[in-house]
A and B are shown apart, each in its own frame.
Chain A
Amino acid sequence: MTSLSSTPPDLTRRNLSWRRSLANRTSTLLIGLCVVLAAFPLFLVMWQVISRGGSSMSLDFLTEEIPRNYRTAGPGMGPAIVGTLFITGMAALIAIPIGVLGAVYLNEYGKNKPLARFIRTMADVMTGVPSIMMGLFIYVSYVIVIGEQIGFAGSLALACLMLPIVIRSTEEMLRLVPDELRQASAGLGARKWRTIMTVVLPSASSGITSGALLAIARAAGETAPIIVTVGLTYIYKPDLFYGQNTNLAAQIFRNASQPFAASQERAWGAALTLMGLVFLFTIISRIIASRFAIDKR
């Protein structure tokens, strides 16, 4: 841009009054500062968890049973890892089928009917219900009834948390399925349920899977519903229907609340394991989702 010294309207940045230019620069700077402010805690968390958790990480840590005394130094989170996988897995088995079918209702049957709109709103509201409330709900309606805290109760609580997330994300994916597919299938003489099961759901499957994995990742890190419904154990309890159980998040909470170095050490190791699991699920979900985006094109 060459300067045209003779023509009156100079529209370049140089002609900006200093107040306006200062306001513009300051605002850009402040907006950039916001990004730094948000990135800082993430890097602090990752750095601390990796450096402190890494020092207690070992094969023994992943497989040994949990020491009964907080003061005992040494490894052991095996039962918590198994508990996390089993409790969350069972929750997924409950929540994902119901959630997917519920989304089918919303997108294929209910559409804009008042009932469907109401369910949609309530699913959104349910996403915002505090996780500890799901724990209390399962405690009063299941744990009290059967008389003991078991792993399966934790699965039920986590399933309540996952349900609205699965419904809403699946519905988004079903909405992306082109109507031509449904019409083509109907034109071939397929009934509506067959169209849905063999055409609509398969073509949205990668998107549904990715949403479900995100829901699993979120549930795996939940603590509050677990400590309310599942109790505590130090040994391997692969049977969700017998005896108290535990998971990684609950172990982090217990061990971090203690003033002893040995237990805090274990909390850091458990945190590293848990974050590894959660990131693994998130990354797999991302990969599946990006595949889906390519398919769409």
Chain B
Amino acid sequence: MTPTATREAPSEVDLGGEARARRADRSFTGLVTAAGLTVLIVLGLILVTTTLNAWPAISLDPVNFLTGRTWDPNADLFGTVPFLYGTVVTSLIGMIIAVPVSIGIALYITEVAHRRFRKFIVTVIDLLATVPSVVFGLVGGLVVIPAITPAYQWFAGLVAPIPGLNAVFSETNTGRNYFTAGLILAVMCIPIITSISREVFSTVPETDKQAAYALGATRWEMIKGAILPHSFGGLVGASMLGLGRAMGETIAVSLVIGGSLGMTPNMFAPGNTMASVIAQQWGESSGLHTDALIGIGVQLFAITVIINFLARAVVRRAEIKMKGAHS
């Protein structure tokens, strides 16, 4: 360290005493480290405090909480399987629709669109991402459902003679059902899956694409042969991030799913998901019932954290692999 004696500063340029400056530096380091640690602290606190509060309801009958099919707060019966089922089913419907559409949009933006039109589409997708979820729920509940119910009834009539399908798509008198929730979730997941797919596609080396064209490939053959194999891992990760988002979506789903407490294979029947049942029953709950709702939240938290963790790992591994292949 330089001796302080040689660092006599002129009085108008105050560089500060060495000791004071070092103290300032050290406390700043402490401050920013603490800010960085907040993330870990908050995540840890979320897990601990919610689990502690949910414990009275879970410990009542832990097996029933995880495997029971009956949710009856008045009888202190808290089986959460119907909601887990609803969450899985609606997000699967959402993914089946959103993944191909998002990959299509990403391909359109990176490979097909003219430059000016490309900007327009990117803006449209960005705008779609800024629409608050409750607004999707509002439009879904008051506009889409009245319009789409006849279509459900027509389709149910169409597949009625086909065994298997007629159980999945059967008679309905309401548009508030699993399928509508899945549709809304699809729309809400499209922006996130699209933007990550675009990033993944942009890592495909230009030389690979040009090589495919040089071999006489059409655009589709180039996409099939050069882009898709190269980006498969990244696309899996993107879809999983979308899935995580879909499973946690609360308000839009609770406005369109109806709110029945049972479970049925019929996609055109009302149901509930983990997140939406919390929102729907929160207002009229108390005591153990509230604890049980928080318990559902803990379950949901665990599931989404695991999915997000895996998804990030998949995306990162795919990125490393692609960059390695490129260099």
Taking beta carbons and an 8 Å cutoff, which residues of A are in contact with B? 11, 16, 20-21, 23-24, 26-28, 30-35, 37-39, 41-42, 44-45, 48-49, 97-102, 104-106, 108-110, 115-116, 118-119, 121-134, 136-137, 139-141, 144, 160, 163-164, 167, 189, 191-193, 196, 217-218, 220-224, 227-228, 249, 252-253, 256-257, 264, 267-268, 271, 274-275, 278-279, 282
Contacts and interface: CB of A to CB of B under 8 A. Distances in A.
22 contacts: A31-B112, A49-B139, A98-B35, A101-B32, A102-B36, A125-B305, A125-B312, A126-B39, A132-B275, A137-B45, A140-B52, A163-B38, A163-B42, A167-B39, A192-B28, A223-B250, A227-B283, A249-B251, A253-B137, A253-B255, A253-B279, A278-B131
B127 interface: yes
A141 B294 CA distance: 12
Contacts of A106: 36
B133 interface: yes
Given A221-B134, A223-B251, A249-B134, A164 B301 contact: no
B315 to A, nearest CB: 10
A272 B305 CA distance: 33
Given A24-B220, A140-B50, A191-B25, A105 B101 contact: no
A178 to B, nearest CB: 21
B59 interface: no
Given A45-B139, A223-B250, 14 more contacts: A24-B220, A34-B102, A35-B104, A35-B108, A38-B190, A102-B36, A119-B36, A129-B301, A129-B304, A132-B297, A134-B46, A224-B275, A253-B251, A256-B142
Given A163-B42, A228-B282, A133 B108 contact: no
Contacts of A131: 248, 250
B35 A105 contact: yes
Contacts of B137: 252-253, 256
A130 B247 contact: yes
A133 B42 CA distance: 12
Given A16-B218, A37-B101, A128 B108 contact: no
Given A24-B218, A45-B131, A48-B143, A192 B297 contact: no
Contacts of A115: 36
B272 to A, nearest CB: 14
Contacts of A132: 248, 250, 275, 278-279, 297, 300
- Consensus secondary structure, chain A interface: helix
Nearest to A27: B220
Interface of B: 15, 21, 24-25, 28-29, 31-33, 35-40, 42-43, 45-46, 49-50, 52-53, 100-105, 107-108, 112, 121, 124-128, 130-139, 141-144, 187, 190, 194, 216, 218-221, 223, 241, 244-245, 247-251, 255, 275, 278-279, 282-283, 293-294, 297, 300-301, 304-305, 307-309, 311-312
Given A23-B218, A35-B108, A104 B32 contact: yes
Contact of B104 (A30, A44, A126): A30
A42 B100 contact: no
Contacts of B121: 35, 39
Nearest to A28: B112
A252 B50 CA distance: 27
Contacts of A253: 134, 137, 251, 255, 279
Contacts of A133: 46, 50, 248, 297, 300-301, 304
A42 B278 contact: no
Contact of B39 (A123, A257, A274): A123
A131 B255 CA distance: 16
Nearest to A33: B104
Contact of A275 (B29, B132, B247, B248): B132
A273 to B, nearest CB: 11
Contact of B134 (A11, A32, A39, A223): A223
Contacts of B112: 28, 31-32
